[in-house]
Amino acid sequence: MPESDLLWLSLLVFMPAACAAGLLVFPSKWTEAMRWWALFGSAGTLSVALCVVVGYYNLLDSHLDANGMPRQSVHTRLDARADQAASNAAQPVPKALQSADWIVRRPWIAVLNAQYALGVDGISLPLVVLTALVSLLAVAASWTIDRSVRGYLALLLLLETGVIGAFLALDFLFFYFAYELMLIPMYVLIGFWGGERRRYAALKFVIYTLLGGVCLLVAMIALYSVNVRDFVDQEEVKRRATENAKIEFGPEPSPVQLTQALARVEIHTFDFVTLAKVGRAVALVLSGQEERLAVKTKVIEEPNRGDDPTKVRLFAPGVDRASALARLKTQPVCTSQFQYYIFALLFLGFAVKVPIVPLHSWLPDAHVEAPTPVSMILAGVLLKLGGYGLIRVAFPICPWAAAELAWWVGLVGVIGIVYGALVAMGQTDFKKLLAYSSVSHMGFVVLGLASWGSAARAQYWQWGVDGALFQMVAHGVTATALFFIVGVVYDRAHHRDLNRLGGLKEPMPLFAGMSAILFFASMGLPGLCGFVGEFCVLMAAWNYSPALAIPAVLSVILTAGYLLWTWQRVYLGTNPATRDFPELTPREAACLLPLVVLAILLGVVPGMMLFNWMDPSVSGWIENMSPLKP
């Protein structure tokens, strides 16, 4: 089964890139065939993603309780499955005992101890499926692109590979490669196929993204300097000690020489799971709880009756606790300054993508100048990388600093919510209004993650993290659809000025009806997808800090105001300039219908659609993080 995991996850990441390479064999005049090939590639990627969903469901089914509900088992947590996969890689398990854990670990750059490491859980998988769906719809929406079709479609598919690779990566270096891979396709797509100010918008996008990328690069280098020898398989430590002793003392070193070599061994890694363990151990030390740090007895430990609930087992089996604690305390990573600096770098690196105020100004320009399909991917998928990075990287690796700065991070989210809504109200460009709307909606993601409670109030924080993840998926659905709606309007009116539109309901009743559902979903109407995530976030924020929750709640009025006003200006009334607009074409309706259906289903049955397979992973994430805060 591990080989099966390698095949499926690698296929999921690289199938779009392979299809992009396949476009090179098409003669230049076969533009229609190129479109169908790209559509086939993106549809195949979505099919693979759905197969992985089925496989992950089977993994959860193997850990059901007596009532048929997923247990909050340690075996369903990504970090535990990653540890088991690493142990299996070091000590191969008999084939009969192997099981599918949807984790891939293979050597990549041996000299740096970097791995080709991919993993699936309930946090990443919804975003992978969303990416595959939005990419498919973006390719379908690109049918009217008639300039350099081969290059355009290849860049879209390459962009999809970068996004999915980032969502699945468990190695920081591989994550950084995938994260930065998206820069070139987006720059060219905006700069070559964009509007009149496309070069300015593309350059601004690159500068902001590179700023975030440099922050991540510095943080990655600093984290690689950490000696993680007490948090990894001790057989690997002994193997390295033996190799070093042979180099230093000869082919047959004495036991004393081996002991000396063992004391000097350092292991450095880019592995997210290992770095998160170090971060949790540091958080306990800096918060005065070092007595809770304990050594594991085996790789994966199921909680047993009689276990001391105050102990947090982070050191690898076989480690001497006193020596490990002493080594940890002597490292720069175990200082408040290091934790603050690295968290700030990680937060800024991902905040550019969210984006938070004041690092948001690239987004309206990029949306206004980008072609409609690129705006769909930008709003529906790329912004989610910022929120995902905070969940997967920033908070777990620097939990002490995250806990200390949680209120201020929440304040940043609230500022984004209110500022984005206020600025959106004053826009007359349809696309720019939706861009600022995205700034406002993504602020809920930051607020939900920041509503950090202690172990005794972990349930409220889980509401916030659940709400943040749900908000990312819901916003991905509605934002993708709304930017496609703008594209439909622009194809007919050849402008996006809200003051010159109006009256679309008469010539385009189907379009107006589907648009109404999506506008109401975006404003958070109960029964539609936008309500669930925002409600969970607001509940968590209220229990964490009413001072943060109140302005976020009041912003709901602003959101309803500008979205309803926009819908009225576009669809109601009479307008001679729009009365002859044609109704949706079959292709346009096929692009819009799945998003309308998802907006309804996510609002009506959120548990079946998302929470049931997201909750075990979120619970494991909360279980790791919440005890770190006194």
- pTM, to two decimals: 0.92
Report the candidate in 468, 499, 283, 305 with the shortest Cα–Cα distance to residue 388: 468
Query: How many domains would you assign to the chain?
Result: 1
Which pLDDT belongs to residue 99? 46
The residue among 324, 342, 322 whose CA lies nearest residue 276 is 342
Is 97 a residue whose pLDDT tops 50? no
Q: Which domain holds residue 432?
A: 405-623
Whole-number pLDDT of residue 96: 35
Give the chain's end-to-end CA distance (angstroms, integer): 41
Q: Minimum mean pLDDT among 133-137, 239-243, 325-329, 511-515: which range?
A: 239-243
**What local confidence, expressed as pLDDT, does residue 98 receive?**
43
**Residue 111: is its pLDDT beyond 90?**
no
Residue 116 lies in a domain: no
Q: How far apart are CA 355 and CA 556, in angstroms?
A: 19
pLDDT at 55: 87
Q: What pLDDT score does 75 carry?
A: 60
**Comparing C-alpha atoms, which of 360, 370, 538 is closest to residue 466?**
538
Q: Which residue has the higher pLDDT, 101 or 485?
A: 485
User: Is 90 exceeded by the pLDDT of residue 331?
Assistant: yes
pLDDT in tens, 349-361: 999 999 888 888 8
pLDDT at position 343? 96
Residue 260 has pLDDT above 90, yes or no: no
Q: Is the pLDDT of residue 76 over 80?
A: no
- Is the confidence at residue 100, as pLDDT, over 70? no
* Rg, C-alpha atoms of the chain: 25
What pLDDT shows up at residue 305? 56
Average pLDDT over residues 486-494: 92
What is the pLDDT, as a whole number, of residue 452? 83
Q: What is the pLDDT of residue 237?
A: 85
In a domain, 391, yes or no: no
Find the mean pLDDT for residues 299-310.
66
Q: Examine residue 538 and state whether it is found in any structural domain, yes or no.
A: yes
pLDDT band at 332 (very low <50, low <70, confident <90, very high): very high
Alpha-carbon dihedral sign for residues 378, 381, 387, 390: negative
Q: Is the pLDDT of residue 68 over 70?
A: no
pLDDT in tens, 184-193: 999 999 999 9
Looking at residue 215, its pLDDT comes to: 95
184-220 pLDDT, tens digit per residue, is: 999 999 999 988 888 999 999 999 999 999 999 999 9
CA distance 587 to 494: 19
Q: What is the pLDDT of residue 93?
A: 45
> Which pLDDT score, from 0 to 100, does residue 81 have?
78
Residue 94 pLDDT level (bands cut at 50, 70, 90): very low
- Give the pLDDT band (50/70/90) at residue 95: very low
Burial class (CB in 10 A: 0-12, 13-18, 19+), 573: middle
- What would the pLDDT profile of 140-176 be if each residue is shown by its tens digit? 999 988 888 999 999 999 999 999 999 999 999 999 9
* Domain assignment present for 78: no
DSSP assigned state of 228: -
In a domain, 439, yes or no: yes
Q: Is the pLDDT of residue 327 over 50?
A: yes
Residues 6+ apart with CB under 8 A from 247: none
Chain mean pLDDT for the chain: 88
For residue 529, tell me if it sits in a domain. Answer: yes
In a domain, residue 65? The reply is no
**What are the residues whose beta carbons fall under 8 Å from the beta carbon of 107, sequence distance 6 or more?**
115, 116
Residue 309 lies in a domain: no
How many Å apart are CA 81 and CA 296, to the nearest integer? 15
pLDDT interval class at 15 (50, 70, 90): very high
Q: What is the pLDDT of residues 526-572, one digit of tens each?
A: 999 999 999 999 999 999 989 999 999 999 999 999 999 999 999 99
Mean pLDDT of 268-288: 92
